[in-house]
Amino acid sequence: MRWLRSRIVLLLGILVLVYTFVPIFIVVMMSFNKLPSEQSKIYKFYSFTWDNWLHPCAAEGMCHGLVLSIKIGLLATLGATILGTLAAFALVRHDFAGRSATNVLIFLPMAAPEIVMGSSLLALFVAAGFAGQLGFWTILIAHIMFCLSFVVVTVRSRLAGMSDTLEQAAMDLYATPQQTFWKVTFPLVFPGILGAALLSFSLSFDDFIITNLNAGTTTTFPMYVWGVARKTVPMQINVIGTMMLLVSVLIVVGSELRSRARQKALAG
């Protein structure tokens, strides 16, 4: 009884954690599901098969959307990471008029509901006469816009938490400002930038609400899932869902192992 009382909070926490994994088990399980016919509308497990994993692109149109989402995700990440990193340096390391107003401007896109952001951007595109040209470029513009703030916040906190004594030491040792930046500052900030880029990619890759309003007839992966959700869901989307989980877990575990190895090297 005492054992239970001292661990009750931890057990409850683990229970919540298990609850967050319930749909994940379903996704993995459904990736091995064989639909009895092309018109199986009821979303349930029928029978086991490897087919979905062997032929993920057999679902018509899915891989096209997937490639498009990856392309947009990479470009949006590149754009948002560059713009956001520059802005984060400006906010932490430089003084200029309107700094606090800028901080508010950066915060707003994270606080606004997605549906409002998406619809206002659509209103602009329509007013500017681009209603017929919605597609790749308008999606990319929107994705850079909503990833930007997250990049600034992530890189800014890394920069702010970093003491500049190492940089001063480099300067004392006659390093030029460029050398100091590339040999000292940049490597120290890099983990923050990398984190921001990963976050951007996953935000862009998974976005549906803003994309749907500004995509016209272009179909990204989430839009494909949305489209088939009303008809018959091809089980291959669960293969993609499982792979997304595996890739991100590998990235997280990899970076954790690396930082542990580094800490050990420093300690030893």
Partner 1 sequence: MSETVRKKGIVGYVLLAPAFVWLLLFFLIPFYSLLATSLFNANGSDFRGYTMVYQWSNFSGVIRDYWPQMARSLVYGAIATFQCLILGYVLAYAIAFKAGRWKNLMLVLVIAPFFTSFLIRTLSWKLILADDGVVVNSLHFVHILGPNGHLLYTPFAVVMGLTYNFLPFMVLPLFASIDKIDYRLIEASNDLYANPVVGFFKVTWPLSLPGVVSGTLLTFIPAVGDYINDQLLGSTQTRMIGNTIQALFTEANDYPAAGALSVILMVMIVAMVLFYVKRAGTEDLL
- Give the CA distances from residue 23 to residues 17, 18, 192, 218, in Å, rounded to whole numbers and listed in that order: 12, 10, 30, 28
Q: How far is the CB of 93 from partner 1 (least distance, A)?
A: 6
Using the CB atoms, write b or e for 13-24: b if 16+ within 10 Å: eeeeeeeeeeee
| Cβ at position 206, least distance to partner 1 in Å | 5
Distance CA 263, CA 268 (A): 8
CB of 86 to partner 1, least distance (A): 4
Q: Which of 38, 60, 36, 40 is nearest to 49 (CA)?
A: 36
Cα-to-chain-centroid distance, residue 116: 20
What Å distances lie between residue 141 and 42, 112, 197, CA to CA?
A: 37, 17, 16
To partner 1, the closest distance from the beta carbon of 7 in angstroms equals 7
Q: Which two tokens stand for residue 257?
A: 């192992």
CB 45 to partner 1: min, Å: 8
Choose between 68 and 87: whose C-beta lies nearer to partner 1: 87
Q: How far apart are CA 147 and CA 94, in angstroms?
A: 23
Nearest distance from C-beta of residue 218 to partner 1, angstroms: 13
For residue 84, give the nearest of 167, 143, 166, 136 by alpha carbon.
Answer: 143
